[in-house]
Chains A and B, each alone.
Chain A
């Protein structure tokens, strides 16, 4: 490549140098662009906050302090991170397999139902076994919920976007019904589910904080998921089906089977997220149990560009925002709708920066994305 720099006139030489540098350090460039995007979104957010008559620096201080400035906040951020990560893994794996699953919200809820049934009603188990069984129940319930949508798609050809979305509402209403009767503790006046037994609770791993074992589990699961996707035959088949169905059938890949595995995984992951949230944080199902983790998971996956490291970072960012914004609201009095606007800004800017990087690498750096 050294001969590239022998061009005679200086302006193009500098341009070539920049291009060459960018080409060699595409990762760095795209990270810088993302960070700039977040900065820009925060800047605009700050201006909006100032317009609302609140000192933006004050607000930012609360954001930082609340989300990782102290032990408790730090633990809480990492706790929020867990269901977000599971839901984004769920979306990412479906995406890679050519399946648009916007149903993580419902699958997560159903997973929590599965875990509550095992966690609250089966007594006398060894904690390790009990925890394991709860997780498995969560996975199965989530997988079944995704499976219904998949069944409708594979055998009736109905669109999975609509199916998974509608099943979210079904799940929400079903849970609502359950906590009004079947799984409500008889003596309770509140509409909640039975609380899981102590043996089904996940242990705390950071004292004086809510951080529980689910955090470690979520990291391990991330590694396993990406290993399956990139390093195993079934993962290869799922990706092939996702990238090009015609090529997949040409290659003799069983598309129905690959899709079924993808469905079980995508639903299972969201369900596992629900189980974790239940067993580590909430211990019972209340109205509004999920608070939109399923939908945020989509944002996390897109923002993290379906890449393992990207998803981990994006999930962390979302968790920081979620927790930090609570603190901003309580501490600095930033109104909630404004917080939503700022969160939206960050998502839009980061996604837009992704497109910018793509375009750059397409025309200038070389290699159409």
Chain B
């Protein structure tokens, strides 16, 4: 591997009101390498990359690109200099085709005509060169998340990217999709593309990177070669202590059945013959964690929405705490003691423009003690929000920061904290540790187990098989809207994986 410096950051500093996000970062990225950035939630990884891509400006410090000083960092200029960034939240237009999304904003060779055919050939050439197969005529809303990510990468390559930045690319992918992504990244890398890769998953980092830098609290802790380190060492560098990944689960007696789904079916609006959920029946007892494992988009979201009262099933019955709740509203369920951590934190679990303190009381704002008489009680609310950020280690200068300014993992901690601190007897938990760092994952897992010991009923829906196995008492496998099997948590991963892929059908 050549050791030519492609990009270097020199003494980069960036602060936001009340936080020093980057404190004197100096870092070299070698040409043709895959460089991983690791660090706790809020360590400054995204900020550093956003500065490189021009979304923010550093307060001080310089960037050198191929030995030359790179000034004027704006996204436009970044693209011109061959820098492409794949954000964690894709920026594709759902009802446009793949082709239209890629050429969006590209000047046509023959204005005012759009010249789609000209672009089609060009894009197919680029795709061929990098060995990417795509169907340019599909609508974005028709393709999987993994495919969308490929499109984002292709788009960047088409614009001439020689350096690809990927911010937590795998957090939205299934394990299979992740492996495919890695294959693609390795292939690109062989053809000379330099890659910067942000992730919390040490396994992935160890799998594909050449060098690894660890950030903590805005400081660069160390940069190591992959071959000279271990996951253990990395996690110690990241959080400054050992992380426990195996938990002992207390033996507890499972109580009466709290959640009962009876033959739930949900039809598809667009297609009469398809079912989003089909004859789903199961029970969860008090003090039990039941995991729902499955590849993404197999009905998990719909299932969660039906249980939480956001959507009504076409047929079937749900009861909770011994009451028929099929026709209850979400608020009634919340008041009965349901807590729900949704998968889509940015669009559903949080109001991004609201302050942390406002998000902390999203569901309970009208209850005592947050409201007394006609008015919201500022002081009580602030005190509660402060407790939340302390207990759940939300890294922020204050509770008055809008949550959109928090780092991805810290946003998730706000939701988790809110749902755990609320009165709850039943927890509906979806992808609870998305985007969290290893330390925070450990904490959330511990909290879930604690809740179980206190007799809370928990339904855990996750695409992360290891997480499901680690925490659940029983595992149900969902495939194309049907529960296709029930296994216990000691069943090996391969077997569950086969069920998740629909093996029972063959």
Q: In the complex, A367 Cα to B353 Cα: how many Å?
A: 12
Against A, the Cβ 8 Å flags (1 = close, 0 = not) of B337-356 are 00010101001111111100
A246, B348: Cβ atoms closer than 8 Å:
yes
Nearest-Cβ distance from residue B348 to partner chain A, whole angstroms: 5
B window 1-41: CB within 8 A of A = 11, 13-17, 20
Q: In the complex, A251 Cα to B55 Cα: how many Å?
A: 32
Q: In the complex, A237 Cα to B361 Cα: how many Å?
A: 11
Q: In the complex, A4 Cα to B334 Cα: how many Å?
A: 47
Measured between beta carbons, the chain B residues less than 8 angstroms from A366 are: 14-17, 56
Q: In the complex, A244 Cα to B347 Cα: how many Å?
A: 7
Measured between beta carbons, the chain A residues less than 8 angstroms from B354 are: 239-240, 243
Please indicate which of the listed interface residues A15, A237, A363 has the most CB atoms of chain B within 10 Å of its own CB: A363
Look across to chain A and name the residue whose beta carbon is closest to the beta carbon of B330.
A252
Asked whether A367 and B365 contact (CB < 8 A) given A16-B60, A247-B350, A250-B342, the answer is no
A236, B57: Cβ atoms closer than 8 Å:
no
CB of B374 closer than 8 Å to a CB of A? yes
A363, B55: Cβ atoms closer than 8 Å:
yes
B15, A243: Cβ atoms closer than 8 Å:
no
CB of B329 closer than 8 Å to a CB of A? yes
Interface residues on A, range: 20 to 34
Look across to chain A and name the residue whose beta carbon is closest to the beta carbon of B377.
A231
A247, B16: Cβ atoms closer than 8 Å:
no
Nearest-Cβ distance from residue A203 to partner chain B, whole angstroms: 30
A window 1-45: CB within 8 A of B = 1, 4, 7, 12-13, 15-16, 19, 23
Look across to chain B and name the residue whose beta carbon is closest to the beta carbon of A230.
B376
Q: How many residues of B contact A (CB 8 A)?
A: 44
Q: In the complex, A221 Cα to B138 Cα: how many Å?
A: 53
Asked whether A367 and B330 contact (CB < 8 A) given A247-B350, A251-B362, the answer is no
Nearest-Cβ distance from residue A249 to partner chain B, whole angstroms: 6
Measured between beta carbons, the chain A residues less than 8 angstroms from B366 are: 233, 236-237
Against B, the Cβ 8 Å flags (1 = close, 0 = not) of A114-156 are 0000000000000000000000000000000000000000000
Look across to chain A and name the residue whose beta carbon is closest to the beta carbon of B363.
A251
A246, B405: Cβ atoms closer than 8 Å:
no
Look across to chain B and name the residue whose beta carbon is closest to the beta carbon of A365.
B17
Q: In the complex, A165 Cα to B340 Cα: how many Å?
A: 40
CB of B176 closer than 8 Å to a CB of A? no
A19, B59: Cβ atoms closer than 8 Å:
yes
CB of A368 closer than 8 Å to a CB of B? yes
Q: In the complex, A15 Cα to B353 Cα: how many Å?
A: 29
CB of B88 closer than 8 Å to a CB of A? no
Among candidates A236, A243, A249, A254, residue contacting B353 with C-beta atoms closer than 8 Å = A243
A252, B16: Cβ atoms closer than 8 Å:
no
Q: In the complex, A253 Cα to B354 Cα: how many Å?
A: 16
B14, A244: Cβ atoms closer than 8 Å:
no
Measured between beta carbons, the chain A residues less than 8 angstroms from B365 are: 233, 236-237
Measured between beta carbons, the chain B residues less than 8 angstroms from A239 are: 354
B371, A233: Cβ atoms closer than 8 Å:
yes
Nearest-Cβ distance from residue A4 to partner chain B, whole angstroms: 7
Measured between beta carbons, the chain A residues less than 8 angstroms from B348 are: 246-247, 250
Residues in A lying within 8 Å of B, measured CB to CB: 1, 4, 7, 12-13, 15-16, 19, 23, 231-233, 236-237, 239-240, 243-244, 246-254, 362-364, 366-368
21 CB < 8 A contacts A-B: A4-B15, A7-B60, A12-B60, A23-B17, A232-B374, A233-B366, A233-B376, A237-B366, A240-B351, A243-B351, A243-B352, A243-B354, A244-B347, A244-B350, A252-B330, A362-B56, A363-B55, A366-B14, A366-B56, A367-B405, A368-B55
A sample of 6 more A-B contacts (CB under 8 A), given A237-B365, A254-B331, is A4-B15, A233-B376, A244-B347, A246-B344, A247-B348, A363-B57
